[in-house]
Amino acid sequence: MLSIYSYIITLLFGLALFFNAVLFIPQAIKIVKAKNAQSISLITFTGFISMQFISVLYGLLQNDWILTIGFLMSMISCGLVIICALIYRNKRKD
């Protein structure tokens, strides 16, 4: 019975990591559409990507591929927001 709960929790954890990564994408789209990133806190997103990097390293040390891949996807999508914010930081909408 415990293995069923373990499987369900592992599945939910994997899904949560996937959705965590997906949730950064609308922010990047909003920046590109508005061509403005004035309201984006680079300090906050730098903090996010730093914690994600540490989580990837921890996942690698623990041989936990769900954790590693999940946070690697989050790093990519969060990094996309940071790149968009840097590109559109001081640009005004034409």
Residue 94 lies in a domain: no
The 10s digit of each residue's pLDDT in 40-57 is 999 999 999 999 999 999
Q: Does residue 93 sit within a domain?
A: no
Give per-residue pLDDT as tens, 9-40.
Answer: 999 999 999 999 999 999 999 999 999 999 89
pLDDT at 92: 61
CATH number, domain containing residue 24: 1.20.1280.290
The DSSP secondary structure of the chain, one letter per residue, reads -HHHHHHHHHHHHHHHHHHHHHTTHHHHHHHHHHT--TT--HHHHHHHHHHHHHHHHHHHHTT-HHHHHHHHHHHHHHHHHHHHHHHHSSPPP-
pLDDT score recorded for residue 93: 55
Q: What number is the average pLDDT over the span 82-86? A: 96
Domain around 16: 2-88
pTM of the model: 0.85
Domain assignment present for residue 26? The answer is yes
47 in a domain, yes or no?
yes
